[in-house]
Structure formats: C-alpha cells, structure tokens
Chain A
Amino acid sequence: MPLSGRSHSVCRVALIETDSLEKRYDTVTALADLTVTIEPGVVGLVGVNGAGKSTLIKLALGLLEPTGGRITVLGLDPIADGETVRARVGYMPEHDCLPPDQIAAEFVTHMARVSGLPAARARERASETLRHVGLYEERYRRIGGYSTGMKQRVKLAQALVHDPELLLLDEPTNGLDPEGRRAMLDLVHRIGSEFGISVVVCSHLLGEIERICTSLVAIDAGRLLRSATLSAMTQHSDLLMVETDEDPAGLAELLTGQGLQVRTEKRALMVRMGENPDETYDLIRDGVADLDLSLHRLERHRHQVADLFRDLPTEASHVNA
C-alpha cells in the first residue's frame, strides 16, 4: 500500500477547522461567521462563484488574515506558523499561473526546490509527479505550447511535487472539456484514495465533484450552508417513491385514508414508511391493485446531494410533512 504511517497519524487532526471565521474587505464581506470542521478525505467545497471558496483557501494558506474568528490548518495557525503550514500544503490556484516560457520539468523542479526539497530530490520528484499527472515526454516542452488540459496537469503537479499532507485545489476542472474534466476528477480521486493525500477541492459544480468526494461543505454568500459526509447525505430516507402512469391523486387519497403520510411531488407520491415498512409496502400494493393503476416505479427514495444543497426549503418541508 502506498499509504504511509504518517498519513494515518495525520488522520487524527482535522484538516481545516474554523471558528466564527470572518473575512471582510473594505465594503464586501467575503466570509461571515463560518464555523466548520473539515475532516481528512476528499472534501468538496461547493458554492456559487463568489460564495467565498477562494477566500477560505487563501485564509487556510495564511495569504490573507482573518478579520475575525479563528482558523487552524493541520492543527496550526496559518498566520503564526505560516511557513510550516505552507510547507505541508499544496495549492493549485483557479487562475492561470504558469510561466509560458519555461520547460514544464524545469518549472516543477524549481517549485519543488522553493518548497524546500534538495536539488537532486526535487528533480526526481518533479519528473515522477509529472508522470503521475499524465505528462510523459511532453514534460520537456515549453509550457506555452501546452493545451489547457496539460496546463491544468502542470498546475496540479506543482502542488503535489513536495508531497503535501493537504492539497487545496481551486476549481481544478476550470476550462476543461468534458473528457478533460473527467480525467482531472479521476486524478483527484486517485490522489485522495491511492496517494493517501487529503484533498479539499473547490467547485461551483456540485454534480461534478460529488462523485469523487467523501464529504461536502457547501457555502453560500460567505456562510456555511451545510457540511456532512457524503454517505450521510445520500443514505436512504424513510420515504417511498410511488410512480404510476395515471394521475396519482386517487391513490394519495386512499393511502391518506389508511393513516399514511403522503405528499405529491410532480407525478409521484412520497409515502412515509412509518413504524412498519412491510405493511406500508403492502398497503401501497393493495391500493394500486384496487384502483387498477399501472405501477411504474416503487422504490426507497434516496437523498439527492443536490436536494440537500440547493433546495433547503424543500428539505425542510420533508421534515414537516
């Protein structure tokens, strides 16, 4: 296994912990009262553009100073212990940040040295890392001649070259075509799973990163919307979804009459299972048969990650139903 003992010991400490974190610029509040604990794993940081994702990343790197509250990264204060934090963290910015005139292998070697690796090891790890991100012979070419996808890989390589404990990726799929996006996300997933490096990956596209993440943190307008592990979010709910070809109003009435909680959602019925799930299944089956409906679908409803993040009011109504 490529996992070393070190990564296990690291697992004990939260990657990033914030407490009422606040960052104000002159007139704009980028982050307000953000309290969140980001655990090791592949963590998706989602929110629309301008929600404060990049600000949070920069606060974590100690590049910005919070105007209020507290943030710790790997158990350290990024302002007071900035050098230690930044030596143990890799950062891939959202925007273009590569010198077009340099050869990729030279550039990544240089960045490894600036991260503190001795010259020989820096060269070794640079070519190794470039290979890991999928650049082989191309690495001896100038970065200026690279495609967007290759540039993104170089950006990732420079963040990874010094073997960080935590990788901060700001919109790594920016500007890539669908195939490139998938390749990049696979790579991020492998870094988290095979390489054993914790990753915080920012995106404004929830659908894209939910499949590679172990947990998600959603922020909106600088505030925490929700934070949870992905398994908790997508676990089965106690709702049954019943879909019939015909209008389900009659069935809804029938089931309500038998004491079940029923809610209509588009063309489907959401039936709460209650104390005895088997009985609920039977009641639905009988109801459908009695009304001579053609049953299209009957299944346990899964929480959709998108529901949890985008339709919070709907989620609240689930609870009230």
Chain B
Amino acid sequence: MSTPERPTGVIHDIGYQRYEGPRLGRGYAARSLFVHGVRSAYGLGRSPWAKVLPIGLLGATSIAALILVVLNTQLPVEVIDYVGIATTFTYAATVFVAVVAPELVSVDLRSNLLALYLARPLRRADYALAKLAALASATFVLLGGPMLVLFLGMAFSTDNGVAGVFSELGGLLQGLAAAAIHAAVLAAIALPFASLTGRRVFATGMIIGVTLLTAPVSGVVQALGDGASQQLAGLLDPVSLLGGVDRWLFDGGLFDIGPYGPVYGLAALLIVAAGTACTVWRYRKVNS
C-alpha cells in the first residue's frame, strides 16, 4: 500500500530522450526482418537449445566436407564434387527447413507477433517475402558452408598451383549455384506449410511428410517403370527433383533423366513461384 518503497520510483532519475535520428523506411524494415530471420534460423539471439539442431547440422556437414577433402586428395578419383555436396546433403537440408521454417513463421503466428510487425511500416507481403528469403538464405548457408570448407581444403592441397585453385573456384561457383537452387526450392515448399499452423510440431510434420514421404513413391516408380516414366519419376518428390536439376545443369545427380532436364528445371521454377505466391497469399489472410 505504501508508496515510498515502490521500485518504480527509481525510474524518475533518468530523463526521457526524444529520438531525433533518421527513420529508415519500409525497405530497411524488411531487411531488418530478413537479417533477424537468418539469425533466428541458426538460433542466434535465442536459447541454447534453439541452436543445437541448425548449428549441429551445419557442423556435421562441414565436418563431412573436411572428410571429403581428405578422401578427394588421397584417392585417385574425386569422390564427391561441389555439386555433389548439394545433391548429397539435400536430405539434411530438408530436415533443416522442416525444423527452421516453423521456427521462423509458426512461432510468430502462435505468439501473435504479426500484430506488432504490421503496426510498423512493414506490409504483409514484405513480411512473407522477408521470411521466405531468410529461410532460403539460411538453407543456402547450410549447403554453401561445406562447399567453402571443401574449396579451402582442395585449394590448399592442389598440385597445379594457381590453375588448380581456379579450377576449384569454378567448381565452387557451380556448387553454390546448385546450393542456391536447392535452397530456393526447399524454402518455397516448407514455408507455405509452416505458415498454416502455429504449432511447430504439426508444421514440421507436414514438411517432412511432403518432402520425405514422397521419396518412396518416386523410388517405386523409378524401380518399376522403364524409359520415360523412369526418367520422369524424380518429379514426384522434391529431393529427386533437385537431383534431376543437378543432373541437367551441372551433370551431377544420382540417376538418369534422359532428355527431360528442362522439365525438371521448369518444375523447380514452378515450385519456387507457387511457393512464393502461396506464402504471400497466405499472409493476406492472417489476422493481425
């Protein structure tokens, strides 16, 4: 009841300062949200537990890349090249988006955070696109990180001097291009699903369901079919689809796609476009 011992009394000593500095607009706001998204994806600024899986995955793929350096330099043939890393680690990247996408959007839905964002210069579409870009970028880092490790290892151990380094650099750039495609496609699949629910578990389940449970289907078609149906079976699940794109563009991938490379490319492009449109559309409906 008595007022004197109320701790709030201390606040009176600090005068309020008005802010006279610059106020950057909507673009800056969207960029801030994007940067925050990439940081959150790796658990930065969040609890230690939030860092375990994303940092763990990045660590694991980087260690795998180190092992590849040893194998590639010791064995007469290159075991896995840069594009091969993108192809091989697609499953890891799938798990990554399944865990991180809900972290980026489901949590906001659940805690009503969108109300605070929309009360700022940001628009609904800005929010959707910033989150999508953040997820794609975080996934790109997951795939690109090990490629960089491989590049550094190979560049330092090359026998051909500068020419060898440049040849490795070419491979790295190809790999990074593949990583960008993988990241964009996986993010465009994962984010719309994650934005449907505020429950992380459901969101993760849906993403895993779509990306991993379709794999056996295309596997069966591939095994039983012949000719065109075999070569097009990869379209049925996202991971094989990306493998097909790797085969078409970079001569990577693990299976034969015949003359249907452009079909795989078009399918990937469609997924990115549809995923982006769905995300933007979804956020036009969410209550603020």
Write the residues of chain A forming the contact surface with B, with a CB cutoff of 8 angstroms.
2, 4, 6-7, 58, 61, 63, 82-83, 86-87, 89-91, 93, 95-103, 106, 110-111, 113-118, 121, 125, 128, 131-132, 134, 142, 158, 162-163, 183, 186-187, 190, 194-196
Contacts and interface: CB of A to CB of B under 8 A. Distances in A.
B205 interface: no
B29 interface: yes
Contacts of A102: 45-46
Q: Which 7 A-B pairs have the closest CB atoms?
A: A163-B19, A91-B119, A113-B32, A116-B23, A195-B16, A97-B112, A83-B121
26 contacts: A2-B16, A2-B17, A2-B18, A4-B18, A58-B288, A87-B23, A87-B121, A93-B116, A97-B112, A97-B116, A98-B113, A99-B108, A100-B111, A101-B47, A102-B45, A115-B29, A115-B120, A115-B121, A116-B23, A116-B25, A117-B21, A117-B23, A117-B24, A121-B19, A132-B16, A134-B11
Contacts of A61: 118-119
Does more than half of chain B's interface fall in helix, strand or loop, or is it mixed? loop
A96 B112 contact: yes
Interface string B106-137: 01100111011111111100000000000000
Nearest to B50: A101
Contacts, number: 124
A82 to B, nearest CB: 8
Interface string B25-51: 110110011001000000001110010
A114 B19 CA distance: 15
Given A2-B15, A87-B25, A116-B25, 20 more contacts: A7-B18, A89-B119, A90-B119, A97-B112, A97-B115, A99-B107, A101-B50, A103-B46, A114-B29, A114-B32, A115-B120, A115-B121, A117-B19, A117-B24, A118-B22, A163-B18, A190-B11, A194-B15, A194-B16, A196-B16
Interface residues of B, number: 41
B134 to A, nearest CB: 13
B14 interface: yes
B285 interface: no
B160 interface: no
B8 interface: yes
A21 B190 CA distance: 41
Contact of B33 (A95, A114, A194): A114
B161 interface: no
A117 B36 CA distance: 14
Given A116-B24, A187-B8, A86 B32 contact: no
A118 B32 CA distance: 9
B7 interface: yes
B171 to A, nearest CB: 36
Nearest to A125: B19
Contacts of B123: 82
Contact of B18 (A6, A63, A83, A118): A6
A235 B122 CA distance: 44
B120 A186 contact: no
